[in-house]
Chain A
Amino acid sequence: MVKREYMLGNVAIARGIVEGGGQVISGYPGTPSSEIIGTLAGMKERNFYVEWSVNEKVALEVAAGAAMAGVRSVVTMKHVGLNVAADPLMTLAYTGVKGSMVIIVADDPSCHSSQNEQDTRRYSQFSLIPCLDPCTPQEAKDMMPYAFEISNKLQTPVIFRPTTRISHGKSDVELGPVKEDMPAADFQKDLERWVMVPKNARIQHPHLLELQKDILAELENSPWNELELSEGASVGVIASGIASVYAKEAVIRQGIDASFLKIGTYPVPEKKIRTLMENADRIIIFEEMEPVVEEQVRIIAQETGSDVEIIGKMPGPIPRIFELNTDVCADVLAEVLGLGRSDVPADTGEDFDYDRCRVELPMRPPVMCPGCSHRATFHVMKRVYGKNAIFPSDIGCYTLGIQSGTVDTTLCMGGSITVASGMYQAGETKPICCSIGDSTFFHTGMNGLLNAIYNKADITVTIVDNRTTAMTGHQPNPGMGKLATGEQTTEVCLETLCKGMGAGFVETVDPYDLNKAEEVFRKAKDYKGTSVVITEQLCVIDAKRSGIRRKPFTIDADKCVGCKKCVYLGCPAIEFDVETKKASINMMCTGCGVCDRLCMFEAISEVKK
């Protein structure tokens, strides 16, 4: 009997890696990709090696090394991570691999948890590495063993690109057999292939171009591209990846007779596109984000002299931004085919029309947790450096401090220290104090600090060390002395590391201790040169999980004068009653005590049992 399980897309992908015989799996956490390694590392029995690497470039190179040695490797990351790993990617396309290598890059159209919405299929075109684009969690799982096979057959890495709705979608998934006969590592010296000095690169580049024909032939007939011709239909629909299930539903809902080409690979299946062109007068192309398929369809139409009408986004009615969905597809079909618009308004991803319903809904943005130590750090930073200071920040939970006035820039992972340095070197005279998390510091912040110290930037670097990679789901990092699998390892000391890079001022302080923290920040501000303050306090979620229980706090209404000093912290556990003009503390309090230390009227105290 076939086994079916209800699974998260990323868990299905992890299962696909196991079924395909993955042997070395590396990655850096990033929503929506993180649960793939989380699942593999959490398995009780493993016949593969799995690691959280310190960044995506490192992760990709670890997987590349494994594949050069002849085994089956995987690297995982989110789309922006591939920018970090783009350097090895572009040259790895030249060397190719000996075993198999799958580069999993999870895209996030609509920026659910990201700073941009870039389309990884462009990297596939750019690097000439083939790309697979699943439309359901089931297909995502099934594509993994296939990806290993073609990677090995064609001796090229393969990009595998799920999107948020695949990675964080759930579905019933039919399991397959697990591959057992895996190759052993056996690196064979081959200078022409593995050493990309100019002489050899000039040999490999034409090989890579030559390989494209084989890649296309292989993918053209893969099960991921499906053409259903509808006899006599003048409309052809082409849809790729996740957009193919939305387009399919829209076609069914609108009752349209159309030929349908579902695309799941890049390069795109040219023969199937030609066949569809010969059988349709109009082709409508649904794909999320960039017009990657559409460009190819237009090129093929030009080559074949086809006068088929091509409707997409260059320009056209299909949006080039954000996720697509059934409503968008149905509306486009209705408009293009003159069916009259559906009565369902398009879900444009914009908020509900509150005006229509008389009551105004309060915004509910994601916020830092009750008791989060970042809130205390930001409070002290603002107090010491002043409202007019510049606070470049970085990517992590602390970015949620955007309301607190201490997140003035967020560019990319590790971009806080470097942006701060640039502002100082530009002649900025306002005080500059940047913030970066522990995991982000290990990722690419370290290089920025080294650069700041070396080039004498007079800035303060605050490492908000909550001893985990919190935002993506509490993955371990080198500062924690713990591996992906939970095994103990060397604990890298941030203080020693910063001193080793030459920082003249490095101090660690508990941000809950507001007075001490203020004293340390004042010294750091006065220091001429690059100063480093490490504010260390365990993430409140981890603290709770590890059994730390602090007594909650309460506010004595008789003593509260309604000054709102505690309210301005922005802690979800503190509420303010506009009628009584008193603050109070709700059930969410985790007992950090920061508000108590702030209150000048001794109105706040620990709850006595």
Chain B
Amino acid sequence: MSAEGISIFDLIIAGVGGQGTILASDIIGKAAVKEDMSVRAAETHGMAQRGGSVVNHIRLGCELGSMIPLKGADVLLALEPSEALRYMEYLAEDGVILVNTEPILPVTVTSGLCTYPDIDDILSVMKEEREVKAFNATDLAKEAGHPQSMNVVMVGAVSNYLPVSVDTLLECVKELVPPKTVDINIRAFEMGRSVIQG
């Protein structure tokens, strides 16, 4: 868990290059700064972005380094199921995993070099060690109007845990997504927010 005197809330966002992990962490980071919190974040740019595995660290109320220690994160927000498992060790033992169950097959799988594990197996392994909230965010995004708004569905989901107000988060969604997609993304956010509330 985020330690006292160091950070208020530590979040890991995992996914695949191209899924919009940077936009997701930007919405959260910008919202926290609007609410007068210090923020530290680390992102994957450059080479690893091209369809590779990406991980962002984001620490709210932190004035030190941006890298969250292992077993230090309060929440792991995973935009892809296998990437959730890949970065699970960053999550505190009493932390929560929010995971999109829609897989993206890496080229190593599509070209037959590796196999992609069964989604239920991934979830059950994670559930043995941590609290897991799994849902198909990609389907929700399609329902909201566009599959690309999946990252904002996930931001909506994690909004239930963040020490930042929903209004500020929504304000940042409006500022950061392409103007034409604001309505879709607001719907996406609300859908993600309510899927966790059940």
Contacts and interface: CB of A to CB of B under 8 A. Distances in A.
Contacts of A362: 82, 105-106, 108-109, 114-117
B45 A32 contact: yes
A246 B26 contact: no
Contacts of B45: 31-32, 113, 168
Contacts of B116: 362
A139 to B, nearest CB: 11
A575 to B, nearest CB: 4
A343 to B, nearest CB: 8
Contact of A361 (B52, B69, B72, B117): B117
Contact of B125 (A5, A31, A359, A570): A359
A572 B51 contact: yes
Interface stretch (A189-197, A305-313, A325-333, A496-504): A325-333
Contacts of B32: 6
Nearest to B30: A6
Given A32-B46, A168-B43, A363-B114, A246 B52 contact: no
Contacts of A574: 110-111
Interface string B103-132: 001111111101111100110010000000
Interface in A99-125: 112-113
Contacts of B44: 112, 168
B38 A168 contact: no
Contacts of A343: 71
B42 to A, nearest CB: 5
A172 B39 contact: yes
A578 interface: yes
Interface string A536-577: 000000000000000000000000000010011011101110
A325 B107 CA distance: 31
A352 B50 CA distance: 21
Given A252-B5, A357-B125, A578-B112, A344 B65 contact: no
Interface in A130-172: 136, 165, 168-172
Contacts of A112: 44, 46-48
B189 interface: no
A453 B152 CA distance: 54
A567 B109 CA distance: 11
A171 B52 contact: no
A364 B122 contact: no
Contacts of A564: 112
A3 to B, nearest CB: 11
Interface stretch (B84-92, B160-168, B190-198): B84-92
A231 interface: no
A345 interface: yes
A446 interface: no
A369 B64 contact: no
A369 B51 contact: yes
A232 interface: no
A471 B117 contact: no
B42 A169 contact: yes
A358 B30 CA distance: 38
A523 B111 CA distance: 32
B74 to A, nearest CB: 15
A473 B50 CA distance: 11
A455 B107 CA distance: 41
Interface string A346-369: 110001100001111111111111
Given A362-B114, A364-B108, A170 B29 contact: yes
B40 A253 contact: no
Contacts of B23: none
A165 B3 CA distance: 21
Contacts of A361: 82, 85-86, 117
B48 A113 contact: yes
Interface in A242-294: 242, 245-246, 248-249, 252-253
Nearest to B80: A364
Contacts of B105: 362, 575
Nearest to A366: B52
Contacts of A253: 3, 6, 69
B16 to A, nearest CB: 7
B67 A165 contact: yes
Contact of B39 (A6, A245, A567): A6
A541 to B, nearest CB: 10
A367 B67 contact: no
A572 B110 contact: yes
A472 interface: yes
Contact of A397 (B50, B67, B118): B50
A346 B110 CA distance: 33
Given A364-B52, A364-B108, A169 B40 contact: yes
A568 B67 contact: no
Nearest to A327: B69
Nearest to A35: B45
Contacts of A170: 25-26, 29, 39-43, 58, 66
Given A168-B43, A471-B46, A364 B106 contact: yes
Given A171-B40, A363-B114, A576-B111, A325 B69 contact: yes
Contacts of B106: 362-365, 367, 572
Contact of B50 (A8, A172, A369): A369
Nearest to A325: B67
Given A170-B41, A327-B70, A362-B105, 19 more contacts: A8-B43, A112-B46, A165-B65, A170-B40, A170-B42, A171-B39, A172-B33, A344-B71, A352-B85, A352-B88, A359-B121, A364-B106, A365-B52, A367-B107, A403-B107, A564-B112, A570-B107, A570-B111, A572-B110
Interface of A: 4-6, 8, 31-32, 112-113, 136, 165, 168-172, 242, 245-246, 248-249, 252-253, 325-327, 330, 343-347, 351-352, 357-369, 397, 400, 403, 471-473, 564, 567-568, 570-572, 574-576, 578
19 contacts: A31-B46, A32-B46, A112-B48, A165-B66, A172-B37, A325-B69, A327-B69, A347-B70, A351-B86, A357-B85, A357-B125, A361-B82, A361-B86, A365-B108, A367-B52, A368-B50, A471-B46, A567-B111, A570-B107
